[in-house]
């Protein structure tokens, strides 16, 4: 029997908690105005937050493009194959060897949590749970409904903190201090260190990062709490960016071109400092030169830290690294 009603009477969290407690299997459809979301559960565990197939507004597609894991060319290729075969996006990704199952499962989980965060803000709309509609694809993740709801609630609380700290999206972000070489940095924090340069606003950094909006704000917040990043000014909306750094991409590319020879020559050193990250990290899909530039900057930063440790200061020129 289908379960249906209005979100003004029961929140999304309450509905999912009920489905988890009763170990239900089926599809929860939620609609608000022109928006539509689905959450599939199996034995009370969340297994997907997208519809089978590959629609243009598929949340997993949007997520993978947001984090720059898919290039436009790869996206068009997947669309073409889907039109010919009708196969599900996750199946196409795995069989096309765009990534392995473990990596894809991690992205599916992140996309589910991102969707649940969106749904946590829905205070109006309708819901319908249909036990006859089940997830037919591989169940790459099986998230506890309770655990997913706790994480969603935590993110809602964190968003309130972000709104307090990032009251002005036009404030400029700059590096205050670099972490020690042995400091534990998340991949999200490393991603942002390749973008923050004192020339770009909070909004621009969030947009340029290969992260979701929530993940980017969370990482910036952590970097500021650690006093590695700070506000360094403000650029009025509509004001031109500095000629020397129109975008993080342009600045990163100029720096990366100069740094390529250094990085190649010191690849072994950089690889060791980065914990073998060059070799161990799955290769990202080509999504434009900005990702390449950011990666080069992040790895070169490790070499710069080694130089500072040995000489007590950073080099004034890149050729000093070669000479050293």
CA distance 97 to 19: 34
pLDDT higher than 60, residue 258: no
CA distances to 167, 218, 303, 309 from 306, in Å: 37, 28, 5, 5
Which residues have a Cβ under 8 Å from the Cβ of 11 and sit 6 or more positions away? 123
Q: How many other CB atoms sit within 10 Å of the CB of residue 148?
A: 22
**pLDDT number for residue 56:** 83
Residue ranges of domains in the chain = 3-159, 166-246, 247-324
Closest C-alpha to 193, from 228, 161, 160: 228
Task: Tell me what pLDDT residue 113 has.
Answer: 96
Q: What is the pLDDT of residues 53-90, one digit of tens each?
A: 998 889 999 999 999 898 888 889 999 999 999 999 99
Query: 248, 197 in Cβ contact below 8 A?
Result: yes
- H or E stretch including 42? strand 35-42
In angstroms, rounded to a whole number, what is the distance separating the alpha carbons of residues 68 and 54?
18
CATH 3.90.70 fits 166-246, yes or no: no
pLDDT of 223 strictly over 50: yes
Q: Using CA atoms, how far apart are residues 214 and 162, in angstroms rounded to an integer? A: 9
User: What is the predicted pLDDT for the residue at 308?
Assistant: 63
Q: Which residues contact 100 (CB under 8 A, 6 or more apart)?
A: 94, 282
112-151: pLDDT as tens digits: 999 999 999 999 999 999 999 999 988 999 999 999 999 9
Beta-ladder partners of 201: 172
Distance CA 185, CA 199 (A): 23
The arithmetic mean of pLDDT across residues 153-182, rounded, is 91
Structure tokens at 314: 């950073």
If pLDDT is split at 50, 70 and 90, which confidence band does 8 have? Answer: very high
Q: What is the pLDDT of residue 180?
A: 80
> In 250-264, which positions are buried (b, 16+ CB within 10 angstroms) versus exposed (e)?
ebbbebbeebeebbe
Q: Among residues 104, 307, 229, which one has the least CA distance to residue 96?
A: 104
Query: What confidence score (pLDDT) does residue 71 get?
Result: 86
Whole-number pLDDT of residue 246: 46
């Amino acid at each position: 029997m289908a379960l249906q009603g209005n979100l003004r009477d029961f929140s999304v969290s309450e509905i999912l908690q009920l489905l988890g407690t009763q170990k239900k299997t089926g599809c929860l459809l939620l609609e608000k105005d022109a928006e539509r979301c689905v959450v599939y559960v199996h034995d009370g565990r969340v297994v997907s937050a997208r519809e089978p197939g590959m629609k243009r507004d598929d949340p997993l597609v949007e997520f993978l493009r947001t984090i720059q894991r898919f290039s436009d060319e790869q996206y068009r290729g997947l669309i073409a194959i889907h039109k010919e075969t009708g196969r599900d996006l996750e199946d196409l990704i795995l069989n096309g060897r765009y990534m392995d199952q473990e990596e894809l499962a991690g992205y599916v989980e992140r996309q589910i949590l991102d969707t649940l965060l969106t749904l946590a803000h829905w205070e109006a709309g309708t819901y319908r749970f249909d036990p006859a509609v089940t997830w037919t694809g591989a169940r790459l993740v099986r998230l506890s409904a309770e655990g997913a709801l706790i994480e969603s609630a935590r993110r809602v609380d964190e968003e309130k903190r972000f709104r307090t700290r990032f009251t002005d999206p036009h404030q400029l972000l700059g590096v205050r201090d670099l972490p020690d070489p042995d400091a534990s940095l998340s991949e999200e924090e490393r991603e942002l260190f390749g973008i923050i340069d004192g020339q770009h606003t909070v909004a621009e950094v969030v947009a340029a990062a290969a992260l979701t909006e929530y993940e980017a704000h969370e990482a910036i917040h952590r970097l500021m709490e650690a006093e590695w990043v700070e506000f360094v000014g403000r650029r009025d909306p509509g004001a031109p960016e500095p000629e020397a750094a129109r975008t993080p991409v342009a600045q990163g590319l100029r720096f990366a071109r100069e740094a390529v020879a250094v990085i190649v020559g010191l690849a072994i050193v950089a690889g060791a400092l980065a914990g073998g990250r060059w070799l161990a990290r799955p290769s990202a899909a080509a999504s434009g030169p900005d990702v390449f530039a950011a990666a080069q900057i992040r790895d070169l930063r490790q070499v710069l830290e080694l130089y500072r440790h040995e000489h007590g200061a950073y080099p004034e020129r890149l050729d000093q690294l070669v000479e050293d």
